[in-house]
Amino acid sequence: MKKLQMIFNAKMLSLLALLAVSVNLFGNTQKGKTTKPNILWLICEDISPYLSFYGDSTAKTPNLDQLAKESLVFTNCFTTVGVCAPSRATLITGMYPTSVGTHHMRTAIDAMGWGRRKYRRVNSKKAVDIKKDTIGEYATVLPEYVKCFSEYLRAEGYYCTNNYKTDYNFAAPVTAWDENSTDASWEDCPEEKPFFSVFTDLITHESQMWTRRRYPMTVNPDSVPVPPYFPDDSIIRNDIARHYSNIEVLDERIGKKIQALKDQGLYDNTIIFFFSDNGGPLPRGKRETLETGLHVPFTVRFPKGVNAGKVEELVSFVDFAPTVLSLAGIKPPKHLQGQVFLGEFRSLNTRSYVYGSGDRFDEYTDKIRVVRDKRYLYIRNYYPELPRYKDVGYRKKMPMMKQLLKLRNEGKLSDNTALWFQTNKPKEELYDCIADPGNLNNLIEDSHYAEKVNELRSALDNWIVEVGDMGSIPEATMIEQMWPGNIQPQTAQTDISISNKEISLSCSTKGSSIAYILSDRMIRPDLDSGWQLYFEPIELEKTKYLYVMANRIGYADSKVSETLLLKIGQKIKIGSQLKDKK
């Protein structure tokens, strides 16, 4: 009992130390106001913890190494889905993909940026073929209470930018970001505001395995580690070396971002997150619900490197949104499903489990749910009759994927490699991720682990009920529910009310957000930039033109209200109607 009490006290001291760091670092005041921290997300694509501060020094990454020395290095961080679009939907909403309908891999035309918000109708009303998905493009309609969490930051005075990938399974509403483009940066932030800036670097993305094939490699193929589930030949080694070489380029780019912060005097007033959106790009990594698909690197640097060190607690991507709000001193809304792990509203209870899912990956559909504690990974396969390997066309551009398929067809794969190509899979799997990081030895039938299996089964069952898992709904049916008649619903036009030299805006569409632009002259507003988030009445100053639009996530934008000439004592023109101002 005494030993348990000592362990508990040590955990509490650690939690309180982290809490003190994130609450007090920015407690200085200016003109009686608390200075809020800047927050920067440096996101890379498709890497597992293949970095020196996780024990893999193959790639030389001096900039990331230095950042890690000054950071909290989270050793147990996991995405919710091992591929980008559902993963990014989690990050921006603070909701599990399976609970809001964003669990399939890419649904929309808006794959990269926030524009192109006109979606085609879904081509088929038929139920999804579980073996091959024929679903057309659509935007996920989120529950009315779900917003991009950056809206909460904007409402509290943050200048929010995204450069440039969104890929949320819905088009980012104009209310989500002050600036969202390839040019978006903290550098345009007004001096009086703190910023939240997101940068995504594509250099380590899966596609760079073949598009950069003519670039010189900085990592020698003879020096790379070859996982036990791959054959050891020159083609495999070359692709592994290409990935590590891309990581070295990423390091250079991260170094330039950090230097820019330093040059502008912002480095020690900025909290820096570094992480990957999902696991590594090699076959049997990305898209998998194994360790290789879900486990990602993650570091958080506080100014002056305060409290840097390893953190072993479990963290999920669903925790990021409420944690950023907490770091900004904003109490997270109750509907967010993540757990705050830093900041003013940090939970004093650490996670026991993280959860993941796998549904449609590009043209192939399955249904898999997973739960992991600090050591064991439990997998539930709802369609054991389907193969583990999904013959996704996109990744067959990779030389080593072609080589694996060639060896499979020739019957030359080792047992470890052949596991991935089994024509079916067990209903349940259990892996010891410390003793077996490659997840090759399924312990589900070993009686020594019966208690652990029952524990994780129960945890997964409870989570599925708690989040309202939508995975049992065929995708075509889900689309019909979101888009009746397979036609995208549209947000109602904004109502404008003027009284006492103030404008109030409202929209009858439940869950909608409203954006506006004020201008001294008549303009043709860009539908993708310049919009301010409306959250309180606007005070009239002199003569201005007002442009208004509204959006609910997954709906088409409302029509932009035509120019409204604001001049006290004059008539106000709204579209083709004339109204006397009273």
Contact between 452 and 376 under an 8 Å Cβ cutoff? The reply is yes
Beta carbons within 10 angstroms of residue 286's beta carbon: 25
CB of 471 closer than 8 Å to CB of 367: yes
CA distance 87 to 472: 19
Asked whether the beta carbons of 97 and 86 are under 8 A apart, the reply is yes
pLDDT at 31: 36
pLDDT for 573 equals 43
Whole-Å CA distances, 312 to 3, 77, 339, 442, 551: 20, 9, 15, 24, 40
The label of the residue with tokens 């799997």 reads: 429
Q: Which residues pair with 30 in a beta bridge?
A: 33
Are 42 and 254 contacting, i.e. CB atoms less than 8 angstroms apart?
yes
d(CA 191, CA 179): 16
State the pairing for strand pair 572-574/577-579: antiparallel
**3-class SS of residue 289:** coil
Residue for token digits 């489990």?
353
Residue 567: its pLDDT value, please? Answer: 56
**Per-residue pLDDT, 25:** 53
Collapsed DSSP state (helix, strand, coil) of residue 159: strand
- The Cα-based distances of 40 to 150, 176, 325, 382, 494 in angstroms read 12, 16, 13, 39, 33
What pLDDT does residue 109 have?
54
Residues 547, 563: Cα–Cα separation, whole Å: 6
Going by the DSSP 8-state scheme, the letter that residue 180 receives in this structure is: E
Nearest Cα to 131, choosing from 423, 519, 341, 331? 423
pTM exceeds cut of 0.85? yes
How high is the pLDDT of residue 21? 52
Query: Residue 297 corresponds to which tokens in the numbers above?
Result: 């690197």
Residue type, 446: D
Residue 312, pLDDT score: 98
The per-residue pLDDT for 120 is: 37
| Angle between helical axes of 320-327 and 84-93 (0-180°, round to 10) | 40
| Contacts of 86 by beta carbon, 8 Å cutoff, 6+ apart | 80, 97, 102, 103, 104, 105, 169, 357, 359
Look at residue 502 and give its three-state secondary structure: strand
Q: What is the pLDDT of residue 438?
A: 97
Cα–Cα distance, 563 to 268 (Å, whole number): 43
Output the pLDDT for position 111: 44
Task: Identify the pLDDT of residue 269.
Answer: 95
Asked whether 139 and 101 are in contact (CB, 8 A), the reply is: no
CB 102, CB 169: distance < 8 Å: yes
* The total number of residues written for the chain in this structure: 582
- Which distant-in-sequence residues (6+ apart) come within 8 Å of 24 by Cβ? none
Cis peptide before 164 (omega within 30 of 0): yes
**Long-range contacts, stretch 570-574, CB < 8 angstroms, 24+ apart:** 572/498, 574/496
Extents of the domains making up the chain: 2-349, 358-484, 489-579
CB-based burial of residue 316 (10 Å sphere; 0-12 exposed, 13-18 middle, 19+ buried)? buried
Residues of the chain with pLDDT under 50: 1-13, 20, 23-24, 26-33, 111-133, 568-582
User: Using an 8 Å Cβ cutoff, are 101 and 142 in contact?
Assistant: yes
C-alpha 246/C-alpha 57 separation (Å) is 14
For residue 60 the two structure tokens come to: 């030389």
CATH 3.60.10.10 fits 2-349, yes or no: no
Beta strands in 141-218 (DSSP E): 159-163, 179-180, 195-201
Which sequence positions are flagged as catalytic? 84
What topology does CATH give the domain 489-579?
A: Immunoglobulin-like (2.60.40)
Give the residue among 337, 369, 367 at the shortest CA–CA distance from 460: 369
Report the C-alpha gap between 47 and 293 in whole angstroms.
Answer: 9
Contact 491, 141 (CB under 8 A): no
In angstroms, the CA 463 to CA 370 distance is: 10
Q: What CA dihedral angle connects 149, 152, 156 and 162, to 10 degrees?
A: 40
